[in-house]
């Protein structure tokens, strides 16, 4: 019998709605695996749903950083709490890196951030970062996929790891694991990329009507103090650029949609590597009932 449920998939596919429905049908606790929803004041643009109590939402000020190591440290006691209370942890989010970390799969988890190095690397161009990593660790560079190679944050982290004198012993990776894969039912939601783009466009319009610009204005007042994660997050980055006078509002809207769509593609690339995910197409009638049947068979029996 499985002892936990993960709900994964690209942005805009309806993961949170499904998690809320499932949580109402069985004794459970909801845990967010979203790297932006941890921030207080980042509500509309990040898509928080506060109708049900969810752990790891609104736990940090916008100026604080949040690493995958900290994510693990916060999830571990929650999983233990669920076990003691005979409840099922439902972990929902699109940050695949966070999900994999719970299984002890991230070999760099014990290498701490090097802020001085990061500040130095931030001033380099994408091409220079690629060159640096290629020179430092050709093997690590060659293992990166196309989106990773174009992702400044991941290049910086890879360089940081490559030059760290605290490289961990790979045989000890599992010591960081919070759950075994055999304990978890991983449910994946997907749809066609055309449908996903339409959903993203509709969601951006909805969040703008809800007050996304006013939310961005409040955060922008302390822009220099904001965490780099928040400054670079999809939706926030584009609206911050608009508020800084770098782009017009219409361009910011368009770039927000493009950013979300590109992020969705990167998410699917990451999740496709995991063969344990049971996928459901949200365009197929009755997909939620099939998910519930699977849960009854795999988790509740």
pLDDT digits (tens, 9 = 90+) for 52-74: 899 999 999 999 988 888 999 99
* CATH code, domain with 80: 3.40.50.300
Where the chain has pLDDT below 70, the residues are: 1, 107-112, 165-175
pLDDT of residue 71: 92
pLDDT of residue 1: 61
Residues 128 and 147 in one domain: yes
pLDDT of residue 58: 97
pLDDT of residue 142: 87
Query: Quick one: angle between helices 193-210 and 249-271, nearest 10?
Result: 130
pLDDT of residue 62: 97
Residues 81 and 154 in one domain: no
30 pairs with which residues across the strands? 54, 90
Q: Please name the helix (run of DSSP H) or strand (run of DSSP E) that holds residue 23, with its range, or none.
A: helix 15-23
pLDDT of residue 171: 44
| Residue the block writes with tokens 């699109």 | 94
Sequence-distant (6+) residues with CB within 8 A of 284 are none
Residues 43 and 128 in one domain: no
Residues 72 and 195 in one domain: yes
* DSSP 3-state of 47: coil
Residues 125 and 226 in one domain: no
Q: Please name the helix (run of DSSP H) or strand (run of DSSP E) that holds residue 91, with its range, or none.
A: strand 88-92
CB neighbourhood size of 296 (10 A) = 12
pLDDT of residue 110: 62
Residues 130 and 191 in one domain: no
Sequence-distant (6+) residues with CB within 8 A of 183 are 2, 3, 4
Q: What is the CA radius of gyration of the chain?
A: 19
Residues 40 and 79 in one domain: yes
For 78, the domain range is 4-107+172-300
- Kindly list the distances between the CA atom of residue 169 and the CA atoms of 96, 166, 239, in Å, as whole numbers in the listed order: 23, 9, 42
pLDDT of residue 63: 95
* DSSP 3-state of 285: coil
pTM of the entire predicted model: 0.81
- Condensed to tens digits (0 to 9), the pLDDT of residues 149-165 reads 888 888 888 888 787 74
| Of the residues 140, 167, 194, the one at which a domain ends | 167
CA distance 291 to 301: 15
Residues 94 and 121 in one domain: no
CA distance 5 to 100: 13
5 pairs with which residues across the strands? 90, 185
| Of the residues 167, 193, 208, the one at which a domain ends | 167
Residues 178 and 162 in one domain: no
pLDDT of residue 173: 46
Residues 148 and 267 in one domain: no
Residues 142 and 181 in one domain: no
| Of the residues 167, 184, 199, the one at which a domain ends | 167
Residues 262 and 154 in one domain: no
The tally of domains found in the chain comes to 2
pLDDT of residue 2: 78
């Amino acid at each position: 019998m499985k002892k936990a449920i993960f709900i994964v998939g690209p942005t805009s596919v309806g993961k949170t709605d499904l998690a809320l429905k499932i949580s109402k049908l069985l004794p459970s606790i909801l845990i967010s695996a979203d790297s932006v929803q941890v921030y207080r004041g980042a509500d509309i643009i990040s898509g928080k749903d506060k109708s049900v109590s969810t752990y790891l939402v609104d736990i940090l000020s916008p100026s604080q950083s949040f690493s995958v190591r900290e994510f693990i440290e916060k999830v571990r006691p929650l999983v233990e709490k669920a076990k003691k209370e005979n409840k099922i942890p439902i972990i929902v989010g699109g940050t695949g890196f966070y999900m994999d970390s719970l299984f002890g799969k991230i070999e760099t988890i014990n290498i701490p951030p090097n802020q001085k190095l990061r500040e130095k690397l931030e001033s380099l161009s994408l091409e220079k970062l690629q060159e640096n990593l290629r020179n430092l660790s050709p093997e690590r560079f060659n293992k990166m996929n196309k989106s990773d190679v174009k992702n400044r944050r991941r290049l910086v982290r890879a360089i940081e790891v490559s030059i760290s004198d605290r490289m961990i012993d790979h045989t000890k990776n599992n010591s960081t694991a919070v759950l075994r894969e055999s304990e978890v039912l991983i449910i994946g939601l997907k749809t066609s990329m055309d449908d996903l783009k339409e959903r993203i466009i509709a969601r951006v319009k909805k969040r703008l009507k809800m007050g996304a610009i006013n939310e961005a204005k409040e955060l922008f007042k302390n822009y220099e103090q904001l965490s780099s994660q928040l400054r670079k997050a999809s939706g926030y980055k584009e609206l911050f650029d608009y508020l800084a006078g770098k782009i017009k509002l219409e361009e910011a809207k368009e770039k927000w949609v493009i950013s979300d769509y590109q992020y969705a593609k990167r998410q699917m690339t990451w999740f496709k590597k995991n063969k344990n995910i049971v996928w459901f197409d949200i365009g197929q009638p009755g997909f939620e009932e099939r998910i519930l049947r699977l849960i009854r068979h795999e988790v509740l029996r």
